[in-house]
A and B are shown apart, each in its own frame.
Chain A
Amino acid sequence: MTHVAPAERSTRSPAQVETITVSRYASLKGVAVTIVNLAVFFLLWELIARAGLINELFFPRASEMFAAMYNGFADGTILPEIWHSLSNFLIGLAISIVIGIPVGLLMGASRVADLILSPYVWAMASLPRVALIPLLILIMGFDNSMQLTIIVLSAVFPIMVNCMAGVKTVDPSLLRAGRVFGTSRVQTYSKIIFPFTLPFVISGVNQGIARGLVGMLIGELLGGGGSGLGFLLDRAGDQFDAPMLYAVLILLAVMSVGLIQSMRWLEQRAAPWRDTLRT
């Protein structure tokens, strides 16, 4: 019987790894497709509106929408409102993250904390956010803090619940490996539980963003604060200014997509080991 040294058998050999060429235009292709796609969309929009099939009062031409958007930016009615909404939203999200992650981790790690907090967390996570508006107005009036509060209340619970789920689903055999190889309590958290939970945290923040945007709009539409994209939307509606209405909607869509896509990008950076799930 002959033995082949294992080291020789399965060492990565030059023959196994080949260099491959990736087209330089591969990433541009996706961008090009999107541009063409959008161009066709707006063109169709323009044509359908021009055909006059739908009442112009609530279906303006794409060109009118763009004109309204351009004018809004030019005369300074849009930009401050975008800034107001975006900064409100980002502050609210930051507060939600700072509160949501530790509390979620605590609920996942401690049975007692979970037992005490979970009825409230689940109740708040499930309650439709709009229901809170009258109470918040009662407490805080039409102040900006009311708008911030609704964003935080919208975003914080999905973050919390996801963090908790992450900690609770840590693979028990990884915890065993930790014990065998001598992790201290702190190391168990820093080397096993946190890395395992990270993707959950990120998807929690993703949901938090989606819900937070809704919260932001509700606050601005119903809160009567007189600023923000929601306010622009409300005013355009009141004034039967359909082009402006559509322009704000498009801006909101761009903002949401931008936020969610940047989280996606972060998610892929933060958890490269989840590669297989993507491809």
Chain B
Amino acid sequence: MVHVGSHETDRPAKEHANTAGSTLIEVAEVNAGYDNQRERTRLIALRDISLKVTQGEFLAIVGPSGCGKTTLINMIAGFVKPLSGVVKVRGVPVDGPGADRAMVFQDYALLPWRTVERNVEFAIENRRGHVPKPERRARIANALQLVGLAGFEKSYPHELSGGMRQRVGIARALVGEPEILLMDEPFGAVDAMTREAMQAELEKIIAETRQTVVFITHSIDEAITLGDRIVVVSSRPGTIREIIDIDLPRPRFDERNDIKRSARFGEIRSHLWKLLSDEALGAKWGSVARQEGETA
């Protein structure tokens, strides 16, 4: 087996990060779960999660379906409160959503009665003094251009394909230029070619804006091409199996030099593949028994 770096979570910032940054997001010894009032049980979704994200870092999260990725990102967003432990942003415990964090939702969460441009505007019209009105038009047009939806400003979500709706959700998250981008499988419904183009676009944007990104994906390749680090979550209950440094040079999307052909990419890829297929099998055979153990 090729060696792939695996580290403690509170490891100091790496030289290849965009900005040699201080800790921006800190998840400390968090347990999370959902209560079922009817059956009087509690499903433990995440157990003992500790993790730090530095300023300007691109953190990718992978793991089998149902392992608690959305729960984790929802805690950072501020919707879900941990059962124990604490989530901090810039040293301050998270108590609900804030202007510094925007999110791309796994289920898009677009307002069906608003057109595409009005949906994007939603991100910058609610907080007082967020983006002045005259500036909004240009910002919205720019965001829609970035996700390739120029010309669809007046369409309603129900008139768009799944992948197009998802891109509206991305434009909505980008338009306010938040410090932290939380993206829950943002390219899940997009075709392979568009997906790659959007990954390249995202990398370019991030390099420019130096935003910090937490990015959930089911695609190993996507995690490696985009991430500075990859968190592998194992399931039932979700725990951090491993955190992998991706020491590939940036920009990763380079016409002359396909990063996916590099030896290093292949090493990381097969390592991740093995981790995740263990997970998938483990989930298959062990899930029922473990699940029963966890619900109390």
Chain A contact residues, CB within 8 Å of chain B:
1-13, 171, 173-174, 176-184, 187, 191-192, 195-196, 198, 271-276
Give the CA-CA distance A192 to B114 in the complex, in Å: 10
Give the CA-CA distance A276 to B158 in the complex, in Å: 7
Contact between A273 and B201, CB atoms less than 8 A apart: no
Contact between B197 and A180, CB atoms less than 8 A apart: no
Give the CA-CA distance A179 to B122 in the complex, in Å: 11
B residues within 8 A CB of A7? 145-146, 148, 150
Q: How many residues of B contact A (CB 8 A)?
A: 47
Is the CB of B99 closer than 8 A to any CB of chain A?
yes
- As a 0/1 sequence over residues 40 to 63 of chain B, the CB contacts with chain A under 8 angstroms (1 = contact) are 000000000000000000000000
Give the CA-CA distance A8 to B158 in the complex, in Å: 23
Extra inter-chain contacts (20) besides given A3-B197, A9-B194, A11-B151, CB under 8 Å = A1-B260, A2-B255, A5-B148, A6-B194, A8-B148, A9-B148, A9-B197, A10-B148, A10-B194, A177-B103, A177-B122, A179-B78, A179-B79, A180-B77, A182-B127, A182-B130, A191-B122, A273-B113, A273-B158, A275-B158
Given A1-B255, A174-B111, A273-B158, CB of A6 within 8 Å of CB of B102: no
Listed A/B pairs (6) with beta-carbon separation below 8 Å = A8-B148, A9-B197, A179-B79, A180-B77, A182-B127, A198-B113
Is the CB of B101 closer than 8 A to any CB of chain A?
yes
Contact between B150 and A180, CB atoms less than 8 A apart: no
Given A7-B146, A7-B150, CB of A179 within 8 Å of CB of B198: no
Give the CA-CA distance A180 to B146 in the complex, in Å: 21
- As a 0/1 sequence over residues 238 to 269 of chain B, the CB contacts with chain A under 8 angstroms (1 = contact) are 00000000000000010100101000000000
- As a 0/1 sequence over residues 86 to 126 of chain B, the CB contacts with chain A under 8 angstroms (1 = contact) are 00000000001101011101010111110000000011001
Contact between B126 and A182, CB atoms less than 8 A apart: yes
Contact between A6 and B198, CB atoms less than 8 A apart: yes
The 8 closest A-B pairs by CB, nearest first: A12-B151, A6-B148, A182-B127, A10-B148, A177-B109, A173-B109, A182-B126, A6-B197
Report the nearest A residue to B124, measured CB to CB: A181
B residues within 8 A CB of A176? 77, 79, 103, 105, 109
A residues within 8 A CB of B186? none
Give the CA-CA distance A13 to B148 in the complex, in Å: 12
Residue of A12, A187, A272 touching B126 (CB-CB under 8 A):
A187
Residue of B146, B176, B253, B255 touching A6 (CB-CB under 8 A):
B146
Given A176-B105, A272-B156, CB of A4 within 8 Å of CB of B79: no
Report the nearest B residue to A178, measured CB to CB: B126
Contact between A179 and B97, CB atoms less than 8 A apart: yes
Contact between B253 and A273, CB atoms less than 8 A apart: no
Report the nearest A residue to B182, measured CB to CB: A180
Given A6-B148, A180-B101, CB of A192 within 8 Å of CB of B194: no
Give the CA-CA distance A181 to B114 in the complex, in Å: 15
Is the CB of B149 closer than 8 A to any CB of chain A?
yes
- As a 0/1 sequence over residues 129 to 158 of chain B, the CB contacts with chain A under 8 angstroms (1 = contact) are 010000000000000011111111000111
Contact between B194 and A180, CB atoms less than 8 A apart: no
Given A9-B194, A176-B105, A180-B97, CB of A195 within 8 Å of CB of B79: no
B residues within 8 A CB of A275? 156, 158-159
B residues within 8 A CB of A6? 146-148, 194, 197-198, 201
B residues within 8 A CB of A5? 148, 197, 201
Contact between B148 and A181, CB atoms less than 8 A apart: no
Give the CA-CA distance A274 to B159 in the complex, in Å: 11
- Shortest CB-to-CB span from B119 to chain A, Å, is 9
Contact between A10 and B164, CB atoms less than 8 A apart: yes
Contact between B197 and A173, CB atoms less than 8 A apart: no
- Shortest CB-to-CB span from A277 to chain B, Å, is 9
- Shortest CB-to-CB span from A267 to chain B, Å, is 13
Contact between A10 and B102, CB atoms less than 8 A apart: no
B residues within 8 A CB of A192? 111
Report the nearest A residue to B119, measured CB to CB: A177
Contact between A10 and B149, CB atoms less than 8 A apart: yes
Contact between A180 and B102, CB atoms less than 8 A apart: yes
Give the CA-CA distance A173 to B200 in the complex, in Å: 28
Residue of A4, A11, A177, A272 touching B197 (CB-CB under 8 A):
A4
Give the CA-CA distance A10 to B200 in the complex, in Å: 16
Is the CB of B221 closer than 8 A to any CB of chain A?
no
